[in-house]
Structure 1
Amino acid sequence: MAKRTEASQLPNMKKATPKVPVIGVFATSDPRIDEDSRTRGQNIVKMAADIVSGSVLLPDKTPVPVAYSTVLVDGEAQADMVAEQFRKAGVDIIICVPDTWAFPQLTTISLLQQFPAETPFNITCGNSGPRPGVVYAHALNGALSQYGRMAALNVGTWPDTGLTPQMTEQTARNLIDWCYAAVAKVALRGRRVVIFGHDSMGMETALAHVLPTRNTFGLEITRLDMKLLADMLNKKAYKEKELKDLRGWIDRYVGKRLELPNDEASERFNMSLAMYLIVRDLMNDLNAVGGGFMSQLEWGSDRRGLPLPVADVMESFFNSTFDHTGTKAPVPYATEADVQGLLTMLVMTYLSGGNPPLFMDFRKVWEAWEIQELAGKLGLKKLDKQADWYTKGLVDGDNSGSASFDWAAAPGATVKQIMDRVSMPMADEFYFPGGGNSVTFMTPAGIDGIAARMAYSSVTGLFSLIWDEAHTTEVPETLGKAMCDLTTPTWPHTFVVPKYASMVEYKQYPPANHFHMTWNLPVARLQHWMDLTGVLSVTPWAARPSFIEGVDRPSPLTHLINGGENAYKTLTAKR
């Protein structure tokens, strides 16, 4: 009879720390090759690991840990060794950098079978001739693809000879882009967002699709009633000194651009600031990575109750890279409890390494002829006829809440430079009888990024992302004022020009009334993430080629041999 042992009690803790993804790098090899080739293979593992290490950041700018093994996987025994090393290191993203021929089933497949099927996996190799690692990469990628395993193949370049080769910048960039996508997938699995209120103003395009969100992204949606926030406001469940500090910060950076006609308005503005402190602490307690607030109608617009102040400033603070405490990670936050908008911003924030998200109404699409016609009515004659807005048009993106302060200035601006461009007028009394203050600014021209919007379909059970590269533009001041006055002048405005979509296409195909933008986000990262999560990539723009070298990632082989990207994603979603 086996000797009985006691179970071990784990130590208690005051607060859990969510797991940070860990990237593991290894190489396969052939036991028959010479010692110099084996040493070269080990050096390539370290080279790749060092390139990734420090280059992939979480939104709070924490570098994602990278671990590597110098055990070359010649067969099953070494596969077991590296798998054990990776498990002990907490690895949940795997990169193979082969430089020699090997046998796929005996090596990488034996290793991968010891990890969950959804573990992101990348093969990066040089186009090497002597031992040929590239031949192994194709054999392995083909084997994985035939049994439906997603793998990203990055056939890059490093020298064919020498003990310490270095990969080219493009090869490294391709690998880092994939790593960001893998980290976004892994880091968000098991996390949660916090939504105040019920369905977003009855907008079907913004509903919290709880089960599909859980199954696709591994995200949980914690739903809290707005009464809790109202009660906590009444109880003053915040530190009064911190509220005073936050108000002092606003007074210092916004000053007279904060519109407060009387003491009552000042007090209601302080309630909006208190909301930020209360919700921030609630989200910290829940380890939340994002949030949303319904606002309309019950909170601030329904006169049958006691309308409360708008949450615009609170939402802007969450989406910004700073507040009264200094630099911070942006926490994607959706106005009107728009969960699909939140998912869009959340993913793009992780993919960009913490760049601030922008929440906008898809408000007014201006075709070029409409802008020219308005300019004529205003008597404006000396216009730049080569300007993007003159030849193509633009979208006036604006919304009452959720606009990150960062978008008031160009990337890299100081807090003072940003806040010098921000005003806080009184909220529109017709829409928001609860009062409070809006946030307004005009985004400068020349910011490049991706504008996108998530959608869900009950027909396929899949999420889609409709996206295009885009940049911001500006028009002459008189013309710009007239354009803003035709929407809501007291809200933030960002003039967006899509790269490939015509304005006719753009205004026909948005999946909702909100869209979102993140700057300095490479296209390949977004595509790799959609590969890893099964999200459909929707780019119905006639002018966009199906593949743009140096911009797009090459399609995974498993897509190609299963009828195409959409067919593969639809089929695997049903497994």
Structure 2
Amino acid sequence: MNAKLLSRKVSEQTGKPVIGVFAPCDPRIDQQSRDRSTAIVRDAAGKIADKIILPDGSHVQVVYSDVLVDGEPQADQVARQFKEAGVNILVCVPDTWSFPQLTALSLMAHFPKDTPINFTTGNSAPRPGVVYTHATAGAIAQYGKLTHINVGKWPDTGQSPQMSDKTLEDLVDWCYAAATFQGLKGRRVVVFGHDSMGMETALPHILETRNQFGLEITRLDMKLLSDMLQKESYYKKEVAKLRSWLDSHAADRLELPDEHKDSELLDKSLALYLIVRDIMVELDAVGGGFMSQLEWGSDARGIQQPVADIMESLFNSTFDHNGPKAVVPFATEADVQALLTQLFMTWLSGGNPPLFMDFRKVWETDDIKEFIEEGDYDLKAEGKWMAKGFVDGVNSGSASFNWAAEPGADEAAIMSKISFPKAVDYFFYLGNSVHFISPGGIKGVAARLAYSSLSGMFSMVWDEAETVELPEKLAQGICNTANPTWPHTFVVPKYASMTEYKQYAPSNHFHMTWGLKPARLQFWMDFTNVLSVTPWQQRPAFIEGTDRPTPLLYLLNGGEVATKKLKAGK
């Protein structure tokens, strides 16, 4: 027999997350009940098919089988159907009692142990799919595999029962986490430069990141970028197009004291975006980072290079001079833990833009009162920002343009709120920064990934959070205490007290993504075995309707942290 030469063409779908929906059934059950089970599979697949969106705007592929898994032969058949379709996420929607080992367990044996599986069922009595769910989940937990169950609601009777909106919402949240977990395996990020300014919290933990997340970190030297700028290895016409686009939005807010020299420097920084963009496209990267300090632009012994603020902001935004685009999470200062945090949260939110911030100054109530009195601000100190305090989130790079306006704002509205002042003096004025103040009322999750060599595990320190809007004069005063030329976002955590927030920050950087639900983050931490860190005394251990239910596997092994440590030790 001759060896077969494969085609050089590869399907764009290969390696992407694919969800397979199926149902077990008892072969003894009447045809009417079997037809109902098939209808539930078809309905569930159809309902989630258009709801799980990747950052590039594409939908996660959903397939289903109308073969009811009655026993081992059907389990093998459906599993092989799924494997041919590239399925790497399993959704089981049982409506009847059946036999776990003969059905789902036999089907799962065809897939790697870390394959996400969800059991979504109605809480029905006539043909108790919920009984099957509990029996199967219990069996799976005994042999140490993670699974999630979603005991929801659909009518006990009728041939075309529709799952409730809440049941669907919980399933969709799980699917987002599973798609993020599977979709990022084998992908890579590109980081230019070495350890960021000696910041140990920014280290690229190459082996650990590969083992835990399946992500590769490609490391390139900044010299490559410096050389390409010097050689002008970019399309000058596209630089002109990008500059024209920027001028059209903000010509009156571009600070160019020396019109000729500063204009050339600005164009050089725009060329840097195009160079890095093309390298990342060539490497099929899903995210990136850039060291900058100190060697790039603020060490007087070397040749000074243009600041990368606009470049970083463009990557993290949903548009550029070519129109709408996918967010490509990008971290300033080559902060790899920042990059990973932004990457995961962007995927979990369906492509929403991340915000990179310094955990700069925590303004507690007393601090605000003193500042108002000393500055002679004539205002009523009312609002959430006064009642609890806030964090001034500010950094010179990586601030997505989208965070200058409310979610959903169009390009023109966003860009109208952004100015581009000259960079601060320790960058030797080689280029322009990005400045805006984020509006209030933006809700999401503020978080930061961390790593410990003691456990060999990653943790995510997180809380729900909301931005607040200060009176204009006071906001500008607050900006002036840090750096008025950088973006500022005033963030209030939902459960953390300001004392807790100050003491428990795992780094000098933190990150926020709007529209990200806690349940999605929690499901993802289950899949990736990341420790969930929420040491806020005001946050309950479980918030019904917000948190995902604790997996049975954790309950049987001493709790979430204990179980994750056991899994990490294997």
Measured against the shorter chain, the TM-score band is over 0.9
Match runs of 1:525-540 below 5 Å: 525-540=520-535
Map of 2:326 onto structure 1 = 329
Aligned to 1:484: 479
Query: How far off its partner does 1:20 sit?
Result: 1.8
1:171-570 correspondence runs (5 A): 171-262=167-258, 263-385=260-382, 387-429=383-425, 431-433=426-428, 435-570=430-565
| 293-302 or 478-487: bigger deviation | 478-487
Which of 116, 132, 137 lines up with 1:141 in the alignment?
137
Could you tell me how far 1:382 is from its partner in structure 2?
3.4
SS at match of 1:254: helix
CA distance in 2, matches of 1:186, 1:426: 42
Q: C-alpha separation between the residues in 1 aligned to 2:377 and 2:230?
A: 52
Distance 2:529 2:303 in 1: 44
Gaps of 5+ in 2: none
User: Is the deviation greater in 14-23 or in 238-247?
Assistant: 14-23
CA distance in 1, matches of 2:474, 2:276: 39
- Structure 2: which amino acid aligns with 1:465? M
Contact (CA 8 Å) 2:14, 2:86: kept in 1 or not?
no
One-letter amino acid of the structure 1 residue matched with residue 486 of structure 2: W
Alignment partner, residue 160 of structure 1: 156
**Alignment match, 2:37:** 41
Q: CA separation in 2, counterparts of 1:334 and 1:54?
A: 31
Q: Which residue identity does 1:185 align to in structure 2?
A: F
1:369 positional shift: 1.1
**Corresponding residue of 2:567:** 572
Counting matched residue pairs gives: 569
Q: d(CA) in 2 for partners of 1:204 and 1:354? A: 28
SS in 1 for 2:427: coil
CA shift at 1:380, angstroms?
2.8
Contact 1:320 1:330 in 2 (8 A): yes
TM-score (norm 1): 0.98
Summarize the Cα distance change of 1:434–1:382 in structure 2 as closer, same or farther, 3 Å threshold.
closer
- C-alpha distance in structure 2 between counterparts of 1:57 and 1:376, whole Å: 49
- Deviation, 1:480, is 1.1
Q: Per-residue displacement from partner, 1:373-418 (whole Å, max 9, x unpaired)?
A: 1111222343143x11111000000000000000000001110100
Considering only aligned residues, what root-mean-square deviation do their CA atoms show, in Å?
Answer: 1.1
Structure 1 pair 17/83, CA: closer, same or farther in 2 (3 Å)? Answer: closer
| Offset from partner CA, 1:349-378 (integer Å, 9 cap, x none) | 000000000000000100011111111122
Answer yes or no: is the 8 Å Cα contact 1:18–1:287 preserved in 2: no
Measured in 2, the distance between the counterparts of 1:201 and 1:48 equals 50
**Which residue of the partner structure matches residue 121 of structure 2?**
125
For 2:545, the aligned partner's letter is: G
CA contact (8 A) 1:60 1:328 kept: yes
Q: How far apart are the structure 2 equivalents of 1:173 and 1:224?
A: 41
List, as ranges, runs of 4+ consecutive aligned residues in structure 1 with deviation greater than 4 Å. 13-18
The answer (yes or no) to whether the contact 1:360–1:403 under 8 Å persists in 2 is: yes
Amino acid in the other structure paired with 2:57: K
Q: 2: distance between equivalents of 1:333 and 1:480?
A: 27
Equivalent residue, structure 2, for 1:29: 25
Distance 1:19 1:268 in 2: 41
Using the alignment, how far apart are the partners of 2:533 and 2:216 within structure 1? 25
Aligned-partner SS, 2:196:
coil
CA deviation map 1:118-145 (0-9, x unaligned): 1111000000100100000000000001
